[in-house]
Structure 1
Amino acid sequence: MIARRLTLGLTVMTLLAVAACGSPDDPAEPAPVVTTTVVTTSAAPESTTTSAPAPKAAKIKVPDGVGLDYQSAQDLWRAAGLHVAPAKDATGANRLPVIDANWVVLSQDPKAGTTVEADSFITATVKKNTDG
């Protein structure tokens, strides 16, 4: 497809260049028209590859992040192959952890030791270090 566009572009440029080369002494005389055609063929071989069935997602054992600061727990879970969903505020105030290291993990879902597929999500319930 790219070769065809390139060929068309070269043909148009050739025609424009020839048309612009008129005789300055005799403007009534038409300029000769030269047509250049380039034919390219690139028949791609048909693919004969067969795809194998997609491998099943790996199973992983969920690490324990309870008691860790929220940043360390996230690092642990991500290293294991999990995605971390937004944390829940244990006080119910719906606060968002801004500096994750200033929050502690009180619980997690799924629980530590559970076997899940890699790329599963994990959610932590956290509280700020300064909460009572």
Structure 2
Amino acid sequence: MNLQTAQNTIQAAGVFYSRSSDATGKGRMQVNDRNWIVVSQTPAPGTPFGEGEAVLSVVKLDERNSCG
């Protein structure tokens, strides 16, 4: 799922602040959220979380990733 869709899903669940992080370790900023794909998240799916606790690890859409 792209980063924008993931953020929208989190907001629809009532949590309005989530964070994202470059999964490659390069520290790049996610300026256009639709150009990034979520490859992992903390906390794990199904785990309750509050404001600012969700961290989405992302790579650019055209980069090799563990999600296929």
Q: Which has the higher helix share?
A: 1
Match of 1:129 among 34, 40, 61: 61
Report if the CA contact (8 A) 2:18-2:51 is conserved. no
Q: Which has the higher strand share?
A: 2
SS at match of 2:7: helix
User: RMSD of the alignment, in Å?
Assistant: 1.4
Letter in 2 for 1:75: N
- Give distance in 1, aligned partners of 2:52 and 2:38: 19
- Give distance in 2, aligned partners of 1:110 and 1:77: 12
**Could you say which structure has the greater relative contact order, defined with CA pairs below 8 angstroms and 6 or more residues apart?**
2
Between the aligned residues of both structures, percent identity stands at 37
Question: What is the 5 A alignment of 1:48-67?
Answer: none
Report if the CA contact (8 A) 2:22-2:29 is conserved. yes
Larger radius of gyration: 1
Moved over 3 A (4+): none
| Unpaired runs of at least 5, structure 1 | 1-67
1:112 aligns with 2:39: no
Question: What is the 5 A alignment of 1:1-132?
Answer: 68-82=1-15, 83-85=17-19, 87-116=20-49, 118-119=50-51, 121-132=53-64
Aligned length: 63
How far apart are 1:121 and its partner, in Å? 2.3
Partner of 1:59: none
